[in-house]
Structure 1
Amino acid sequence: MKFPIKYIENNLVFNKDGECFAYYELVPYNYSFLSPEQKQQVHENFRQLISQNRDGKIHLLQLATEASVRDTLQRSKDLVKGSLKEIAATHIDGQAEALTETIGDNQVDYRFYIGFKLLLNDKEVTAKSIWKDISLGFQDFFNEFNEKFTGDFMHMNNAEVERFTKVAQFLADKVGRRFKIRPLNKNDFGYLLEHIHGMSGQDYEDYHFHLPRQENEHDTVIKKYDLIKPTRSLIEQKQRYLKITHGLTDSYVTYLALSDIVGELDFPGSEIFYFQQQQFNFPVDTSLNVEIVTNKKALTKVRNKKKELKDLDNHAYESNNETTRGVADALDSVDELEATLDQTKDAMYKISYVIRVSGRSLDELKKRSDQILDFYDSMNIKLVRPFGDMLGLHSEFIPASKRYMNDYIQYVTNDFIASLGFGATQALGEKEGIYVGYNVDTGRNVYIKPDIAAQGLKGTVTNALSAAFLGSLGGGKSFSNNLLVYYAVLYGAQALILDPKSERTNWAKDLDFMQDDINIVNLTSEELNRGLLDPYIILSNPKDSESLAVDTLTFLTGISSRDAERFPTLRKAIRNVTQGPQPGLLKVIDELRRENTPISMNIADHIESFTDYDFAALLFSDGTARRSIALDRKINIIQIADLVLPDADKTQDEYITVEMLSVAMLMIISTFAIDFIHSDRSMFKIVDLDEAWAFLNVSQGKTLSMKLIREGRSMNAGVYLVTQNANDLLDEKMKNNIGMKFAFRSTDITEIKNTLQFFGLDAEDEGNQQRLRSLDNGECLFQDIWGHVGVLHFDYIFEHLYHAFDTRPPQAQVSGGD
């Protein structure tokens, strides 16, 4: 059987029959958790993509490429920067050992290729164009003559390649309006060819196909041997399988062809390309060769079939026999199809659908084949393993090849092809980066680069660096948040963690190998901590200190800026303190008393009533306290052990005194965080707000959090909000500034609907609701910066990280933590 490819130039493939195909990789689109309406829209887009080609051929290929776990983690290691490189490298090496032991050296990743046969447009016939075509004809003749007698070299006319390149560019523009595509290159073709000829264990990203060429004025010359080099393997054809020896590796390969569609394929639910990604734990390749039958030809064929069926019906009537049910059903189907074709003017499609599966032994091959047969049978599709036709079906996977035989063809509409879910994916995260866990549905590793959203990469749906961790108690959100922040720091980030529950006191002990890089500031009510959170002490800029002092005191006293008497009085006192020597909040009281009016004395008494209450000493100083909270470590944790946070459903008017002081302190620290994100713009920074709902519930907290998120994007900083419900994240403006989203188990139906809506999913879809409700500990619904949604299981791997980040009380040891 001859090798069908004659020449490859960029994404163009010329075959021995004189045809030219342009191949593109269809960038996979998110399909998980979409509503039926959203799926219908994807179906319509793909139907239009198929319909725009009124003539010619289309080749769809789903290829199970391999990604080396070790190579991926090595590329991840190359991303690490900063002083913790050695510790990060140790962790990554440990991950590589654990993962390869658990899942093997390689993971399957599915890629989707689509090839279109290019047809040159009709052009005006002139003497010049006729002479040009004659010249090209002579050149092609001489090139073929040279090939025939020189044998080793392939000559390709540059002018012809140029003509097809222009057509391919026009086609790419049309396809690109509906789907994201990438033109293939020689490396893609090389990998594809070598893969179907038995190559295994090769990382897709590292593969290189050496195809030297010599170009002159009129044509380009390549060596035939270089072109067929990726196919070098020994293939032995048996009755129902091929034995392929590639290098020192033997593999057994079989091909299954679609023979019959025995029932209706209801959409949604018929997305075979999508479902088989999660159905099989072994690689499966699929080829769909499509030959377009124009509307006129299709109508002729349908009407001829109709005549045959009517003849059968009449014959049965004349011989006093009843027409069989099969003939009657076929007549109804033909009538319906004829009406549809006549009305829509759509084409028909002659398809050859072939599946390729391989195994390391014949037993493994048989088991895998049986699984595929059972799966397709459940979809009302019958597959067969043809006897003695393996090599011919093998050739259908080669780009620009023709259909091998007509025994297993089906005539379908564009609706059928569009309903197969070609390009639909369950991909999550990046190709390399921080390993955080695996996709529950596919088992594939998930990697995250928390700092790349702001780079404006093509294809991302957000440029926000912030993230949200949602879910009720005990689902694993705090544990997972800690894990991601920790790894981000190892990769070179700096973190400021606001810990109102003092759950991270043990980090310096449990993570003793990086003890010098962890700074825990424990703000207790002891006298030595007096005034440490005074706005005039904690912030270095006097103007910022004054603004924060106003926010803090108006919140504690309940004085609104609309209060025409009290607000100006308080504002004036604060301004005087700012302009004086050694400013501090206690001096505001002195300024108010100096004013000596009933209003100023009333405000002074109100403020003074807070100063000796519980841990309020942290807020009030006379200006002599020293600024001791410094952020010079990689991980900076600010803990206020005595905080009493109000319940989420409490209004501000219902706060008791200790709750008001607690929220005021969170406001001050979050303002301090704004100073933090303005340091060293070249370094990625994380501000982690645990129990974020507490200060998002008050107006001052809302303003500060929005400022943190907005300014964080330009200052290379992400705000990680850990809270219980999506509604805690306020309005759409804040939600639109959040990039990655992690939603853990929830049982309240209102919270579930809010979360699904936050993810842009159908909140009323019962399947989505049940999935969120039934998540296990450590599992979450994850949306990455590409808009992909799936269920992620966080994988800590190392026991010391489990002990360090576990936030459960000792009595309630349940897997996952909060």
Structure 2
Amino acid sequence: MKFPIKYIEDNLVWNTDGECFAYFELIPYNYSFLSPEQKQQVHENFRQLISQNRDGKLHLLQLATEASVRDTLDRSKKLVKGTLKDIAFQHIDGQAEALTENVGDNQVDYRFFIGFKLLLNNAEVTAKSIFKDMSLGIRDFFAEFNTTFAGDFFTMNNAEVERYAKSAKFLAEKIGRRFKVRPLDKNDFGYLLEHLYGMTGQDYDDYEYHLPRKKSKRDTIIKRYDLIKPTRSLIEQHQRSIKITHGLDSSYVTYLTLSDIVGELEFPGSEIFYFQQSQFDFPIDTSLNVEIVTNKKALTKVRNKKKELKDLDEHAYQSGNETTRGVSDALDSVDELESNLDQTKDAMYKISYVIRVAGRSEDEMKRRADQLLDFYDSLNIKPVRPFGDMLGLHSEFIPASKRYINDYIQYVTSDFIASLGFGATQSLGEKEGIYIGYNVDTGRNVYLQPDIAAQGIKGTVTNALSAAFLGSLGGGKSFSNNLLVYYAVLYGAQALILDPKSERTGWAENLDFMENEINIVNLTSEEQNRGLLDPYIILSNLKDSESLAVDTLTFLTGISSRDAARFPTLRKAIRAVTQAPEPGLLKVIDELRREDTPIARNIADHIESFTDYDFAALLFSDGTARRTIALDRKINIVQIADLVLPDADKTQEEYITAEMLSVAMLMIISTFAIDFIHQDRAQFKIVDLDEAWAFLNVAQGKALSMKLIREGRSMNAGVYLVTQNADDLLDEKMKNNIAQKFAFRSTDITEIKNTLNFFGLDAEDEGNQNRLRSLDNGECLFQDIWGHVGVLHFDYIFEHLHHAFDTRPPKPVEVIADDES
């Protein structure tokens, strides 16, 4: 069969019939967990995209591209920075070995391409334009003559290319109002062709198509061999399949095409392109060639069909027979369609729907084809494998090709095409980066780059760097949080972890290969730690120390800035201490007693009452303590023993003294974290706040958290909040500054609804609620920086990481008594 492509320039493809198509990649949009109303909106947007073309042709192509696991992880190595590069490479190599053993060398990813036939019918008709068109036609004739009879080169007029390029640019702007698209280039076309002609194991992003061309002022010349080079393979046609030999690899390919649509497709539920991604564990390609029938022509066809059916009905009546049910149903359908076309003025669409499936052996190919037949049959669609038409159906996948056969065409409306879910995705994460697990629904690996959101990359829905880990106890949020922070550090980040439960004490021992980069500060009530959390000791800037001292003491004493009597007295004493040679919180008590007024004595007694607790010694210094908490390691863990954290549902008025002191310490350390994020902006930093709800419940903690998150983006720092419920994350201002969201299993319906609202999903959708409720340990609902939502399973791979990060209590050791003699 004649190769249909005549010329390729950027995203434009000319076929041998002289038609020009502009091809775009439709950037996949999130479709998981959308409510029926949200799906209807997507459907309407795509219907309008289709129906805006009142004439011409469309080509929709879903391609199962391949991504090499090893190549992806090798590209990920280029993202590693810092002193832990060797350790990171060892982990990445270990991941590559484990993943290729478990999932194979390559993983399938789906890409969506859409081609529009360009029509140049808007130009003003003038004598000059007529002469120009005539001259172009003559030049095209001689170019075609030379190509046909003289040989190996094809000549394309630059002026014609420019005319179509302008039309394609205008079309891209129209499409971009509803969907994100990317114009294709020669590498895309080269991969697409080689894929159709048997290429396997080639990473899409690493593929390059060499298509040299010689440009002059008026023309561009390409060698015909270079154009058909991607198709070089041996094809053997059988009755219902073809065998393609590409290099040393052979594959068996069969094509299925739609024969009949025997029932109504209910939407939502008919998104074939979407469901195929998770339904099958083998690659599937789908081509949809669409010829647009204008409204006037469509009405003529429908009315002619209506006359035929009425003739059948009349003939049955005259012969004394009853009209068959099929004729009656067809008449009803034709009436409804005629009314719809007449009212909406919409076009009809003449489609050829072809599915391509391949296998290493003929048996594997047949088995996969049978699974596809069953899948489509459940949707009231009847595909067939035509006898002797395999090469013709194969050619329909080639860009700008025409429909091969009219035996299997279907007449549909734009609603049908829009309901197929073209472009809907279940993808998660980035193309390369930290491997953290896999998509539960598709099995595809998930990679993250925690620091790229602030780079303003096109297509992202956020520029925030912060993340939230939500869920009830035992779902895996702490383990997953630890795993992500650890890998981020290996890739070059620096982390400050606030650990109020002292669960990370064993990290230096369990991760002994990097113990020199782990600094664990264990703040106990021992004498040598006295005053280490005093605002005047822990912070280097005296002005910041004074502000933190005010926040700490007003929180402990309950004095509001609106208290006209007590607040000025306390503020004056703190100011005097700040100006002293060796400031410390204990000296605030001395200053208040020195003022010797009833209000000052009352405040002094109140503050002094807190100093009796053992671990309160960390807060109160006489100014002689020295700052010993350093942040010079890659992982810095601050643990405070004996903290008594209040329950999440407690109000501040209900806190006991120990809880007040505990929250005050968390506030001080979170303020210390602000100093941490203001270090080198080129260094990505993570502030990890475990049990974040404890200080988000108080006014001072809220303010400090918002400051951390707000300043984090500009300072190249992400704040990771680990808490139990999305409602702990305060208002929309904080939630809007959280980019990556991880929600683990929850059973409380209120928490489930809060979480779904946080993700921007329908909180009342029972399917969404049940999915969140039924997550297994280590699984979470995940939303990435692209807005995609799916179920992620964290995969630690290495046993030493599981041992280091597991926060569960150890199992009791069973003691077996010695047999009595």
Superposition TM-score tier, normalisation by shorter sequence? over 0.9
Deviations 1:510-546 (A, max 9, x none): 0000000000000000011000000000000000000
How many Å separate the matches in 2 of 1:102 and 1:641? 42
Is 2:794 the counterpart of 1:794? Answer: yes
Q: Which amino acid aligns with 2:796?
A: Y
Match of 2:333 in 1: 333
Is 2:515 the counterpart of 1:515? Answer: yes
Count of equivalent residues: 813
How many Å separate the matches in 2 of 1:492 and 1:500? 25
Any idea what SS the aligned residue of 2:22 has?
strand
Match of 1:726 in 2: 726
Is 2:601 the counterpart of 1:587? Answer: no
Any idea what SS the aligned residue of 1:340 has?
helix
Bigger mean CA offset, 607-616 vs 255-264: 607-616
Any idea what SS the aligned residue of 1:291 has?
strand
Match of 1:577 in 2: 577
How many Å separate the matches in 1 of 2:337 and 2:288? 22
How many Å separate the matches in 1 of 2:755 and 2:802? 27
Bigger mean CA offset, 26-35 vs 557-566: 557-566
Match of 2:710 in 1: 710
Any idea what SS the aligned residue of 1:475 has?
coil
Q: CA deviation at 1:812?
A: 8.2
Match of 1:805 in 2: 805
How many Å separate the matches in 2 of 1:641 and 1:425? 46
Once the two structures are superposed, the pairs formed by residues 650-799 of structure 1 within 5 Å of their partners are 650-799=650-799
Match of 1:64 in 2: 64
Any idea what SS the aligned residue of 1:116 has?
strand
Q: Which amino acid aligns with 1:163?
A: R
Is 2:40 the counterpart of 1:33? Answer: no
Q: CA deviation at 1:458?
A: 1.0
Q: CA deviation at 1:375?
A: 0.4
Match of 2:224 in 1: 224
Q: CA deviation at 1:612?
A: 2.3
How many Å separate the matches in 1 of 2:626 and 2:531? 8
Any idea what SS the aligned residue of 1:114 has?
strand
Q: CA deviation at 1:126?
A: 2.2
Match of 1:90 in 2: 90
How many Å separate the matches in 1 of 2:110 and 2:75? 20
Q: CA deviation at 1:463?
A: 0.6
Match of 2:361 in 1: 361
How many Å separate the matches in 2 of 1:113 and 1:127? 39
Q: Which amino acid aligns with 2:704?
A: L
Any idea what SS the aligned residue of 2:94 has?
helix
Is 2:395 the counterpart of 1:395? Answer: yes
How many Å separate the matches in 2 of 1:282 and 1:255? 15
Is 2:503 the counterpart of 1:503? Answer: yes
TM-score (norm 1): 0.99
Match of 1:372 in 2: 372
Q: CA deviation at 1:614?
A: 2.1
Once the two structures are superposed, the pairs formed by residues 300-315 of structure 1 within 5 Å of their partners are 300-315=300-315
Match of 1:544 in 2: 544
How many Å separate the matches in 2 of 1:614 and 1:622? 16
Superposition RMSD in Å: 0.8
Match of 1:437 in 2: 437
Any idea what SS the aligned residue of 2:177 has?
coil
Q: CA deviation at 1:149?
A: 2.6
How many Å separate the matches in 2 of 1:458 and 1:217? 35
Match of 1:242 in 2: 242
Q: Which runs of 4+ in 1 moved over 6 A?
A: none
Match of 1:166 in 2: 166
Q: CA deviation at 1:147?
A: 1.2
Deviations 1:176-216 (A, max 9, x none): 11000000000000000000000000000000000000011
How many Å separate the matches in 2 of 1:369 and 1:123? 48
Q: Which amino acid aligns with 2:669?
A: I
Q: Which amino acid aligns with 1:434?
A: I
Q: Which amino acid aligns with 1:5?
A: I
How many Å separate the matches in 2 of 1:38 and 1:124? 42
TM-score (norm 2): 0.99
Any idea what SS the aligned residue of 2:809 has?
coil
Any idea what SS the aligned residue of 1:647 has?
coil
How many Å separate the matches in 2 of 1:481 and 1:148? 64
Once the two structures are superposed, the pairs formed by residues 524-539 of structure 1 within 5 Å of their partners are 524-539=524-539
Match of 2:206 in 1: 206
Any idea what SS the aligned residue of 2:112 has?
strand
Q: CA deviation at 1:726?
A: 0.3
Residues 617, 740 of structure 1: alpha-carbon distance in 2 compared, 3 angstrom cutoff:
same
Any idea what SS the aligned residue of 1:718 has?
strand
How many Å separate the matches in 2 of 1:438 and 1:124? 55
Q: CA deviation at 1:802?
A: 0.1
Residues 495, 295 of structure 1: alpha-carbon distance in 2 compared, 3 angstrom cutoff:
same
How many Å separate the matches in 2 of 1:253 and 1:641? 65
Match of 1:351 in 2: 351
Q: Which amino acid aligns with 1:535?
A: P
Q: Which amino acid aligns with 1:803?
A: H
Match of 2:406 in 1: 406
Once the two structures are superposed, the pairs formed by residues 97-112 of structure 1 within 5 Å of their partners are 97-112=97-112
Match of 1:816 in 2: none
Match of 1:384 in 2: 384
How many Å separate the matches in 2 of 1:665 and 1:726? 23
Residues 689, 812 of structure 1: alpha-carbon distance in 2 compared, 3 angstrom cutoff:
farther
Deviations 1:391-431 (A, max 9, x none): 00000000000000001000000000000000000010000
How many Å separate the matches in 2 of 1:217 and 1:655? 81
Between the aligned residues of both structures, percent identity stands at: 86
Q: Which amino acid aligns with 1:624?
A: T
Deviations 1:254-308 (A, max 9, x none): 0000110011100000000000000000000000000000001000000000000
Is 2:279 the counterpart of 1:282? Answer: no
Deviations 1:683-714 (A, max 9, x none): 00000000000000000000000000001010
